[in-house]
Structure 1
Amino acid sequence: MSATDSLREDHKQIRRLDKIIIKCYTELYAGKNIPISDLEKITIIIEEFFDSIHYSREEDSYFPCVASYDHLKQEIRALLIEHEFSRRIAIQIKKHVKRWKNGEDAREPVARFLKTYSTYLMDHMKKEENFFDKAEAEIISKEEEFEMYEQFKSVMTVSKKMEDMIKEIDYLEKQNWVQN
């Protein structure tokens, strides 16, 4: 496996979560109830998986490697701006879930920001996939791919956290509100 393959594997998990997010905001807009604990799990996965693992891999290793060849710098900048946009949406989701948990009616903003996040995710991943294709074909050597992948694997706490996040996605996929 290569670093690019690893990032594409992350995208598979992200797509799984996106299906849950779509189901969640659809159910919320339909007036159905979603357990606050499940909404909190979604926010944790967004924080822990997207930001702490996936974006970190890209921002700390992958993008700098590609940029070192003086290529795709505009694309990298655009993706970094989108990562920041993602973080801001995630903060809003978390804020409104917390309001809802504390007794306020925050159904609409939770649904709205989840829908916004889902829209962002699909667009962003398409851009990243195109970026990966270019980087893999034109810039990064097989040796660099292997070295970055080894670096991704060497951080055991990240590997454990990744396993935990996949288990959380598994859990959410099995919930009645997702299955219906």
Structure 2
Amino acid sequence: MSATNQLRADHDQVKRLEKIVFKCSEELKKGADIPFSDLSKIMIVISEFIDTIHHSREENSYFPCVSDHGSLKDEIHRFLVEHEFGRNVARLISRHLKLWKEGSDEREPVSRYLNAYGVFLKDHLHKENKFFDTAEANVLTKEEEANMYEEYKSVFAIVKKVEDMIKEIDYLESRPWNLSK
């Protein structure tokens, strides 16, 4: 496997979460009761998997390696801005979820910001996958790909955390509110 393929594999998991986020938003909008524990799990996956692991791989390793070749710098800058946008939307979801847990009626903003986060993921993943195709074909060497991949899998705690996050996504996919038509 290569670094690019690892990031694509991450994207496959993120796409699963994207579907969950959209479904959760839709169900909340309809007035369905979704346990706070499930909403919290969604936020944990966003924070710990998408932001802490996946975006860190891109921002701290992949993007700098591609940028070192002097190409695709504008695209990388746009992705960094988009990552920050995603973090901001996630903070808004968390803020309104906290207020909701404290008794305020925050169903609508939680639903709205979940939907916004889903839209962000859908658009962002599509653009990044095209970027990966270009970087893999025209920029990165096989050695760079292999070295970055080895770096990704060398941190056992991160590998274990990814496995845990995939289990959380599995759980969320199986929830009754997510299975309804």
**Counterparts of 2:98 and 2:169 in 1: how far apart (Å)?**
20
TM-score w.r.t. the length of structure 1 is 0.99
The gaps in structure 2 that reach 5 residues or longer are: none
Structure 1 residue runs without a partner (length 5+) = none
Hey, which bits of structure 1, 4+ residues long, moved more than 3 A? none
Indicate the residue corresponding to 2:46 in structure 1.
Answer: 46
Aligned length: 180
Q: Which residue of 2 aligns with 1:71?
A: 71
Q: Which residue number in structure 2 is paired with residue 10 of structure 1?
A: 10
Q: State the distance in 1 between where 2:4 and 2:115 align.
A: 28
- CA deviation string 1:118-168 (max 9, x = no partner): 001010011101110110010001111000000000011111110110010
**In 1, distance between residues paired with 2:59 and 2:101?**
33
* TM-aligned CA deviation for residue 103 of structure 1: 1.0
**Cα deviation 1:42-73 (Å, max 9, x = unaligned):** 01100000111000000000000000000000
Structure 1 residue 179: Cα displacement: 1.0
Which residue is 1:91 aligned to? Answer: 91
* CA apart distance, 1:102: 1.0
RMSD: 0.6
**Matches for 1:61-140 after TM superposition, within 5 Å:** 61-140=61-140
Percent pairwise identity: 57
Cα distance in 1 between the residues matched to 2:155 and 2:96? 33
In structure 1, the partner of 2:161 is 161
Letter in 2 for 1:28: L
